């Protein structure tokens, strides 16, 4: 299920994005500040390039590229 970022309280959204950009494997080799990486992800959420997906089975949210989210969700409907 895709959750519009606007439906999430600002503080919770910031924590979700911070957790996302801090995950192992998300290091892009640049030494950008956490606030910069958070701002970049927020921009991509606002532009619709990325979306927040809530996995009902694990009861956890995740941030994905919209194409990946669409593919995963369509596979679950099969």
CATH number at residue 23: 1.10.10.610
Q: What is the pLDDT along the chain (78 residues), one digit of tens a residue?
A: 999 999 999 999 999 999 999 886 555 566 788 899 999 999 999 999 999 999 888 999 999 999 999 998 888 876
Tokens of 12: 């919770």
- Reported residue count of the chain is 78
How far is 49 from 43, CA to CA, in rounded Å? 9
What is the signed CA dihedral for 31, 60, 70, 26, rounded to 10 degrees?
Answer: 20
Listed in sequence order, the residues at least 6 apart from 45 whose beta carbon sits closer than 8 Å to its beta carbon are 5, 17, 51, 52, 63
pTM of the model: 0.84
Total domains in the fold of the chain:
1
Please give the residue range of the domain that contains residue 40: 2-76
């Amino acid at each position: 299920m895709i959750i519009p970022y606007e439906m999430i309280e600002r503080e919770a959204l910031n924590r979700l994005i911070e957790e996302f950009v801090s995950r192992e494997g998300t290091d892009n080799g640049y030494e950008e500040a956490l606030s910069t990486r958070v701002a970049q992800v927020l921009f991509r959420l606002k532009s619709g390039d990325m979306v927040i997906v809530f996995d009902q089975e694990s009861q956890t949210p995740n941030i994905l590229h919209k194409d990946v989210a669409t593919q995963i969700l369509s596979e679950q409907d099969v």
